[in-house]
Amino acid sequence: MLFVPLPLFASLLLVLALVRFCLSREMRVRAHQLFALLVALYALQTLLASLRWGYEVERAAKGMILMAPLLPVIAYLAYRALSGPIAVWPLALVVLNWLVYAIAPEFSDAAILMTYIGFGGLLLRLGSKGIAQVALSAINDAADIRIAIYVTGGALIASGLTDIYIIYDFVRNDGQTAPVIITFVQTAFVLAIGISGVVGRSTATASEETQEPAPAPQATLADSEIVEQLERLFEAEHLHRNEDLSLRRLARKIGVPDRQVSNAINRVRGVSVSQFVNGFRIQEACDLLRDTDRTVLDISLASGFASKSNFNREFARMTGKSPTQWRQGQS
């Protein structure tokens, strides 16, 4: 009977996730290209792991070592691309890892370990900076993407710490438990990172909308002017109807930096950017529910929500009722 190692199943799942991602996203966007590359690299890495540890193909080990420093770097660049142009300095660290492997291979494991933990820490720091760090993404996806950033950063750090144990195991026990650790634990980390970059939207919960930086004690006059400008724009141009509306687009509309827009809304209205936008969407949905016979699904899409489930959740949060219950109460 042919043995099929666990990493091979992980590879197949990642390939399916990659196909789904490419079919559902605009692949001319730099960030989407990087996320697709990230998932493809992890699929290849798990395939190499299955060959190395499942079928004892020793040549696969070299490919795993060469690919290892690429993974955290591409993960970091992919998420950084959601806020604008990316720097190229992280790629120099990949080259540095390869040089270490070529010149002093005994230090290669330590270099890769530091790369994983370092970029994992950078991702956790990126996620802590708020919605402005994912300004190019749709506003309703921002909370989901921040969760994906935390998952990826945490998994990179955990993967690096697991490597420390694997090195210890080789020193003390001749690597007796290393195949098991790599098969189960590392495969779980790979799936967590790969899938989080593709289906972050499905991880959203009702409480995520409140996860914004703490507001400043008092709003400034400039903050109030920014919010007033935005409210006039929403009333005149119905910006909320665009389900792909991003913080960057809002900021460019009024010529103000992303973070300043986010902070102004938080200080003046006491809500996140997503809640601010959804307020206009729910108001339009209420008007349509009261004045038309259109279905709840049609109304949710017309008012700017990407899905009926997201609409129902936000509608209940803001009105205390489901759309159907609210409509019945108006008759």
Tens digit of each residue's pLDDT (9 = 90 or more) over 119-136 = 999 999 988 887 777 777
Chain centroid offset of residue 163 CA: 24
* Local confidence band at 84 (pLDDT 50, 70, 90 cut-offs): confident
Report CA Rg, the chain.
23
Instruction: State the pTM of this model.
Output: 0.75
Beta carbons within 8 Å of 37's beta carbon, 6+ residues apart: 74, 78
Confidence (pLDDT) at 118: 94
Whole-angstrom distance, CA of residue 137 vs CA of residue 132: 10
- Where along the chain do its domains lie? 6-203, 208-330
Decide if pLDDT at 98 tops 90. Answer: yes
Whole-angstrom distance, CA of residue 159 vs CA of residue 161: 5
* Local confidence band at 191 (pLDDT 50, 70, 90 cut-offs): low
Confidence (pLDDT) at 188: 61
Decide if pLDDT at 78 tops 50. Answer: yes
208-330 folds as Arc Repressor Mutant, subunit A (1.10.10)
Whole-angstrom distance, CA of residue 57 vs CA of residue 59: 6
Confidence (pLDDT) at 173: 53
- Select from 186, 219, 208, 231 the least CA-distant residue to 314: 208
Decide if pLDDT at 211 tops 60. Answer: no
Confidence (pLDDT) at 119: 94
- What is the chain's mean pLDDT, rounded? 79
Whole-angstrom distance, CA of residue 323 vs CA of residue 13: 37
Q: In terms of C-beta density within 10 A (0-12 exposed, 13-18 middle, 19 or more buried), how is residue 156 classed?
A: buried
Cα-based angle 119, 251, 206 (whole degrees, multiple of 5):
65
Query: Mean pLDDT across the stretch 293-315?
Result: 89
Query: Mean pLDDT across the stretch 89-109?
Result: 93
For the ranges 5-14, 31-40, 42-51, 87-96, which has the lowest average pLDDT? 5-14
Alpha helix (H) residue ranges in the chain = 6-24, 30-49, 59-67, 70-80, 89-103, 108-128, 142-173, 178-180, 187-196, 221-237, 247-254, 258-269, 273-291, 296-302, 308-319, 323-330
Whole-angstrom distance, CA of residue 325 vs CA of residue 234: 27
Whole-angstrom distance, CA of residue 294 vs CA of residue 180: 56
- Select from 225, 295, 233 the least CA-distant residue to 264: 225
Helix axes 30-49, 187-196, angle to 10 degrees: 160
Confidence (pLDDT) at 181: 52
Give the range with max mean pLDDT: 119-123, 159-163, 216-220, 243-247: 119-123
For the ranges 6-20, 266-280, 292-306, which has the lowest average pLDDT? 6-20
